Amino acid sequence: SAVISQKPSRDICQRGTSLTIQCQVDSQVTMMFWYRQQPGQSLTLIATANQGSEATYESGFVIDKFPISRPNLTFSTLTVSNMSPEDSSIYLCSVPGLINTEAFFGQGTRLTVV
């Protein structure tokens, strides 16, 4: 199994500012995923971060709003830019396991925008 550390675990931010969330994995992985979990909603995939290439964004998510970095095989960041209260959510990073049915998640970053 993979151990994933996410920072910060929570934050309260002013609207219009940006927050960068860090995700560190204890092993090298090709793909990392960023999800959003809005209150009372399912996890929604934001983007797939591959090392050495641009992130692939899902429908409804754009790079200007959620820029992603993937400098190496164990680390990624997600930035939530120009935040509004609608961005209040839990953001989770994830990596696939040895079988493609398995995904390991960080503990999440609980973001509140005021």
Tell whether residue 41 is a contact of other proteins (CB under 8 A): yes
Counting contacts by CB under 8 A, is residue 61 touching other proteins?
Answer: no
Which token pair is 66? 């959620």
Give 95's DSSP letter.
E
DSSP string, 24-43: EESS--SEEEEEEE-TTS-E
Among 7, 24, 31, 69, binds other proteins (CB under 8 A): 31
- 7, 24, 79, 96: which one contacts other proteins (CB under 8 A)? 96
Output the smallest distance, CB 59 to other proteins, in A. Answer: 12
Contact between 79 and 87 under an 8 Å Cβ cutoff? The reply is no
Q: Are 100 and 112 in contact (CB under 8 A)?
A: no
Q: Which is nearer to other proteins, 26 or 102 (CB)?
A: 102
Cβ(72)–Cβ(51) below 8 Å: yes
Element (H, E) at 4: strand 4-7
Q: Of 12-20, 64-72, 78-86, 97-105, which segment contacts other proteins by CB under 8 A?
A: 97-105
Question: Which residue ranges make up the site for other proteins (CB under 8 A)?
Answer: 4, 6, 31, 33, 40-45, 48, 92, 94, 96-97, 99-108, 110
